[in-house]
């Protein structure tokens, strides 16, 4: 709860400051197009180089599209055209066959583990095939790509271990189906980003150095381990300190990037990269620590009470089920939170318009 309050405050502060900074210089007519325009602008940096001028023309044309729904359709169509439908050569049939074969093999392996993994197996095979087929090879960041692909593989393995070891943790119901679809779709997106290693053929998007990647891994793993300890012993103070320290670290990174002249697009890319790595580290550390400590005594009364109302057969199964749900949500939420903290640090470090206009004192 404390971490959620801190994170919410950082996000709100960043959004409010950003909107205030941009409101004065944005014509009223353009403010109506911010949502579709941002979507198209954010996706444009993933377009092939030959499609980026076309993306600029699409953004200019967006201002002439009447109606909110029509602008959203226009923006989504532009994103699809830039990422998938246009600007790329035909996918070789041999590579397509290999991709489908690998994705099908992974799905088949997952399928045989447990009846509860059937939906996850089918969805994972589909998203892996889509990620491989739509992947376009480009100069990227090998360390980031290897880290993400290894992390995804570890997430799948740890999920299957938990379902096989504690089958009651994933009952065949609607909730499990929803979590399976969300997990498969999220891991598919992570695989796609890992394959492309986030294109680095733009001057404002440099590959992450080994230091930030390692720090983001430690950040995610630290959050996970502290969370497991808090569930066992109720150490809320440790959770609060760790949460605040992690957000402060991400904010410091954003401030450093700003002082080095990193553009807003480069800042967003770097923040999301750190968040992706931290989320994978969180998943791996949280599930590993939960399996190791599943039979330990639990002293947190709230956790015990939640177990009694869960209907699960034993406390270990409840802990695994709860940890798995939290780890899946972290894959989605942690990149957003790290990006928000990074952006907040960059915003606070950016000189204000008044300071920029002030000359030296005489």
pLDDT (0 to 100) of residue 80? 73
- 3-state SS string over the chain? CHHHHHHHHHHHHHHHHHHHHHHCCCCHHHHCCHHHHHHHHHHHCCCCHHHHHHHHHHHHHHCCCCCHHHHHHHHHHHHHHHHHHCCCCCCCHHHHHHHHHHHHHHHHHHHCCCHHHHHHHHHHHHHHHHHHHHCCCCCCCHHHHHHHHHHHHHHHHHHHHHHHHCHHHCCCCHHHHHHHHHHHHHHHHHHHHHHHCCCCCCCCCCCCCHHHHHHHHHHHHHHHHHHHHHHHHCCHHHHHHHHHHHHHHHHHHHHHHHHCCCCHHHHHHHHHHHHHHHHHHHHHHHHHHHHHHCCCCCCCHHHHHHHHHHCCCCHHHHHHHHHHHHHHHHHHHHHHHHHHHHHHHHHHHCCCHHHHHCCCCC
pLDDT for residue 362 is more than 50: no
Sign, CA dihedral 140-141-145-146, equals positive
pLDDT for residue 6 is more than 70: no
The pLDDT tens digits for 130-139 are: 888 776 655 5
Identify the band that residue 291 occupies on the pLDDT scale cut at 50, 70 and 90: very high
Whose tokens are 């553009």? That residue is 263
Question: What is the spatial distance between Cα 43 and Cα 356, in angstroms, rounded to a whole number?
Answer: 31
Identify the band that residue 27 occupies on the pLDDT scale cut at 50, 70 and 90: very low
% residues pLDDT > 90 (the chain): 18
pLDDT (0 to 100) of residue 160? 92
What b/e readout covers 227-238, taking b as 16+ CB neighbours within 10 angstroms? bbbbbbebbeee
The pLDDT tens digits for 57-97 are: 888 888 788 878 888 888 888 877 776 554 445 556 666 78
pLDDT (0 to 100) of residue 229? 82
pTM surpassing 0.75? no
CA atoms within 13 A on the CB side of 219: 28
Question: What is the spatial distance between Cα 54 and Cα 47, in angstroms, rounded to a whole number?
Answer: 10
Mean pLDDT taken over the chain: 77
Identify the band that residue 328 occupies on the pLDDT scale cut at 50, 70 and 90: very high
Nearest residue to 204 via CA among 253, 258, 247: 258
- Taking residues 7-25, report their average pLDDT: 48
CB 165 within 8 A of CB 291: yes
pLDDT for residue 145 is more than 90: no
Nearest residue to 11 via CA among 250, 306, 196: 250
- Taking residues 22-46, report their average pLDDT: 59
From residue 354, alpha-carbon distances to 15, 323, 357 in Å are: 20, 48, 5
pLDDT (0 to 100) of residue 23? 43
Name the range with the highest mean pLDDT among 155-164, 245-254, 262-271, 344-353.
155-164
32-35 contacts, C-beta under 8 A, 24 or more apart:
32/68, 33/62, 33/63, 33/71, 35/72
pLDDT for residue 104 is more than 70: yes
CB 320 within 8 A of CB 291: yes
pLDDT for residue 202 is more than 50: no
The pLDDT tens digits for 227-254 are: 888 877 766 667 777 777 887 888 888 8
Which two structure tokens, joined as six digits, stand for 177?
């189906």
pLDDT for residue 200 is more than 60: no
pLDDT (0 to 100) of residue 25? 44
Residue with more model confidence, 20 or 217: 217
Residue 259 burial (CB count, 10 A): 12
Write the burial class of residue 139 (CB in 10 Å: 0-12 exposed, 13-18 middle, 19+ buried).
exposed
Residue with more model confidence, 328 or 8: 328
- Taking residues 20-30, report their average pLDDT: 44
pLDDT (0 to 100) of residue 152? 94
pLDDT (0 to 100) of residue 296? 86
Question: What is the spatial distance between Cα 331 and Cα 156, in angstroms, rounded to a whole number?
Answer: 13
pLDDT for residue 255 is more than 50: yes
Question: What is the spatial distance between Cα 251 and Cα 261, in angstroms, rounded to a whole number?
Answer: 16
Whose tokens are 């992390």? That residue is 151
pLDDT (0 to 100) of residue 218? 87
């Amino acid at each position: 709860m404390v971490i959620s309050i801190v994170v919410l405050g950082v996000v709100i502060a960043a959004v409010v400051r950003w909107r205030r900074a941009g409101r004065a210089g944005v014509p009223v007519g353009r403010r109506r197009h911010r949502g579709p325009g941002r979507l198209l602008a954010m996706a444009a940096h993933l377009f092939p180089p030959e499609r980026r001028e076309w993306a600029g023309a699409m953004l200019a044309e967006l201002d002439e599209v009447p109606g909110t729904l029509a602008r959203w359709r226009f923006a989504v169509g532009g994103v699809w055209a830039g990422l998938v439908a246009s600007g790329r050569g035909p996918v070789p049939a041999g590579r397509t066959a290999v991709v489908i074969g690998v994705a099908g093999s992974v799905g088949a392996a997952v399928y045989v583990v447990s009846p509860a993994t059937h939906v996850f197996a089918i969805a994972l095979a589909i998203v892996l095939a889509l990620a491989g087929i739509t992947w376009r090879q480009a100069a990227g960041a090998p360390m980031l790509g290897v880290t993400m692909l290894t992390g995804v593989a570890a997430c799948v393995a740890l999920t299957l271990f938990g379902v096989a070891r504690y089958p009651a943790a994933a009952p065949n119901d609607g909730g499990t189906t929803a979590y399976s679809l969300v997990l498969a779709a999220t891991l598919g997106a992570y695989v796609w980003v890992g394959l492309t290693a986030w294109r680095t053929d733009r001057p404002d998007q440099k590959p992450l150095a080994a230091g930030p990647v390692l720090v983001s891994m430690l950040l995610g793993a630290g959050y996970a381990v502290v969370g497991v300890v808090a569930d066992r012993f109720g150490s809320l103070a440790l959770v609060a300190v760790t949460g605040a320290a992690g957000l402060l670290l991400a904010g410091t990174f954003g401030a450093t990037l700003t002082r080095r002249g990193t553009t807003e697009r480069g800042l967003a890319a770097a923040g999301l990269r750190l968040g992706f790595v931290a989320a994978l580290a969180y998943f791996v550390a949280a599930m590993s620590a939960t399996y190791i400590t599943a039979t330990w005594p639990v002293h947190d009364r709230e956790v015990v009470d939640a177990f009694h109302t869960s209907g699960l057969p034993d406390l270990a199964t409840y802990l695994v089920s709860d940890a798995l749900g939290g780890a899946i949500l972290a894959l989605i939420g942690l990149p957003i939170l790290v990006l928000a903290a990074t952006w907040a640090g960059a915003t606070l470090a950016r000189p204000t318009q008044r300071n920029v206009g002030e000359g030296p004192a005489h």
